[in-house]
Amino acid sequence: MEAFGSLDVVVNNAGISEDSKALEDRSLEEWSKVIDVNLTGVFLGTKHGAQAMKALEKPGVIVNVASILGHVGFQGAPAYSAAKHGVLGLTKAVALELAEFGIRCVAVCPAFIQTPLIEGMEEHVLPLHPMGRLGKPREVSDMILFLASDEASFLTGASYLVDGGYTSQ
């Protein structure tokens, strides 16, 4: 706000993964760390972004980056899956609350994207994508740019998959 005098778009895009192990072998500390970054972080970015946008009394957009694992489960990732499901619920609730202020809230749900987050998992997750490849960061950012644009001015409260067909199975 100080640097640009306005806040038009917030993109909440932080996430960490978790070690794949049995549920009973997970500590509360491990669970909480994943929930804190992947869900509470989105809540805080959304809260403070909405507060600033409302103070400006002008339309804005909040884009929450969730995951396909907000739509489906994934063995070995219970905290991550729970957090991303939570991001989708948060997005819907916030969209309803902020609509009257002209502030939209949407979510993007990427599949496995070629980033350091999935390093070492590529061979395992590649066959899960019917398109036969992993997504590229640019494909996710293009969706975010579209959702933040005026061309998407009637979109709020929904999530948009960038998944190469993953969730169609």
Per-residue pLDDT tens digits for 40-60: 999 999 999 999 999 999 999
The residue annotated as part of the active site, out of 46, 66, 69, 80, is 80
Neighbour tally for 19: CB within 10 Å: 10
**What sign results for the dihedral spanned by CA atoms 21, 160, 42, 112?**
positive
Q: What DSSP designation does 106 have?
A: E
- The per-residue pLDDT for 11 is 98
Give the span between the Cα atoms of 93 and 71, in whole angstroms.
17
Encoded tokens for 51: 């507060």
Q: Which of 32-41, 59-68, 94-103, 115-124 has the least mean pLDDT?
A: 115-124
Q: Cα 92 from chain centroid?
A: 12
Q: Does the annotation count 166 as an active-site position? A: no
pTM of the shown model: 0.94
Map out the domains of the chain with their CATH numbers: 12-168 (3.40.50.720)
Taking 90 as the threshold, does the pLDDT of residue 28 lie above it?
A: yes
Please state the rounded mean pLDDT for residues 115-127. 89
